[in-house]
Chains A and B, each alone.
Chain A
Amino acid sequence: MLATERYLLDEMTQLERHVFEDHYFGCEICAEDIRVARLMKEGVRGGLLGTSRQSRWRPIEVLPWAAAATLALVVGYQTLGPTKVPGAGGEFAAQAVAPITLRPATRGQLPRVNPGAAGEAVVLAVDVARGTGELEYDLRAPSGNSLASGRVPGPAAGAPLFLLVPSRILTAAGDYTLVVRNATDRADSSSEQFQFSVNAAVTDKR
């Protein structure tokens, strides 16, 4: 029952996979079903679905407050998506966090980000060169896939752009890239790239 869907969702045991593969290699109807499923899945994985700025997950929040180098923020977990964190007084809990500063990609060691557990968040303080006007951002996984993108007001002159990134989207170990560009000027030369790395050991523990 719904064998192709179980196969697609990696819900079969190894033996079941072998049996099903042996079947669909010889059954034209199931082979066609597999082909359609592959087109759909690979199309989505390949980014052909496009990004949605209306996603219910609201992957990144922009914090417009200017701050000093070390910043303590109080964040409401309601803004991070459907996961509710039990805490005193109701549906969300407050937590102090310290931002990770990102500077334009240079040689040398990348800032290391510890995503923490699901339900937590990472605050990135992005040292953008152009702080005025509207900005577009695009956060990319180590694979190159776009995880989140959007348009935000630029920070005040001299202040960094703060981005609140839910830990649950930083699931892959490796180097992440944040591209920021002037929203009104799409020329490549106006974009800046910032990178950080997620430690494999931390990711595996979650």
Chain B
Amino acid sequence: MPPRLRYQFDREYIDRLIAEDPDTAQHFTSYFGDLLSMKLRSRLRPALIDDAKQETFMRVFATLRRDGLRDPATLGAFVNSVCNNVLFELYRSGAKSTQLEEDYETADEKARSAESAMVEAEEQSRVRDVLAEMPQKDRELLRWLFFEERSKDDVCRALKVDRNYLRVLVHRAKARFRDELQSRTAGADPGHEARRDHR
């Protein structure tokens, strides 16, 4: 998978985040962005997901700058709880999230968008290559479940398995996907392993 520097959510990390260190901010939004996308996908229309993510990040940054965080290890739980609040407000209002703060740096965001688009394109290309290399049975299973969105009962009947074993098949497909993705990422970036545990 795309190289990701490993960070510990400790006091130094929080301080760097508050100080708007670019590398730390990039790691933060990338790390939690994936988790937020997964959380929000089943709850919001696609058009609202990015808004909810950005609102969550802005509130987290604002709170950290104002109050800090008593226990840095709870940063993840804090992000999740802020997201829950954003979701609750969206459900109640049925509208898009609140306006951006006045000091929101749109120019910087545009610059990051271009970089993000490039990273996203590279990631898509890598995922496409990995999926193409997966065994036909895995590809078929994933297509039925996530592209054709067939009912899980239909898929179980076709494969003559029960729901428990269906999860096992998905688990194995995911494991093969991960292994292939990691081998491609390591091959593309030989320094990836050397940069692990960077703080």
Contact = CB atoms under 8 A, between A and B. Distances in A.
Given A36-B174, A36-B181, A25 B147 contact: no
Interface string B31-45: 110110111001000
A55 B158 CA distance: 13
Contacts of A156: none
A82 B160 CA distance: 11
A20 to B, nearest CB: 10
Interface residues of A, number: 43
Given A9-B145, A48-B131, A25 B35 contact: yes
Nearest to B170: A5
Interface stretch (A39-47, A92-100, A109-117, A181-189): A39-47
B124 interface: yes
B42 A25 contact: no
A145 B174 CA distance: 22
Interface stretch (B13-21, B75-83, B92-100, B106-114): B75-83
B5 interface: no
A43 B152 contact: no
B142 A44 contact: yes
Given A21-B80, A25-B77, A56 B148 contact: no
Contacts of A35: 1, 34-35, 38
A9 B181 CA distance: 21
B177 interface: yes
Most buried by B among A9, A24, A35, A37: A35
B199 interface: no
A53 interface: no
A34 B148 contact: no
A186 B194 CA distance: 47
Contact of A40 (B39, B157, B174): B174
A45 B147 contact: yes
B128 A43 contact: yes
Contacts of B76: 25-27, 31
A171 B74 contact: no
Nearest to B34: A35
7 contacts: A26-B80, A31-B34, A38-B34, A39-B127, A40-B142, A43-B128, A46-B124
Given A38-B38, A40-B142, A44-B145, 17 more contacts: A8-B170, A11-B163, A22-B80, A31-B76, A35-B38, A39-B177, A39-B181, A41-B142, A43-B127, A44-B143, A45-B146, A46-B124, A49-B132, A49-B139, A50-B131, A147-B148, A168-B150
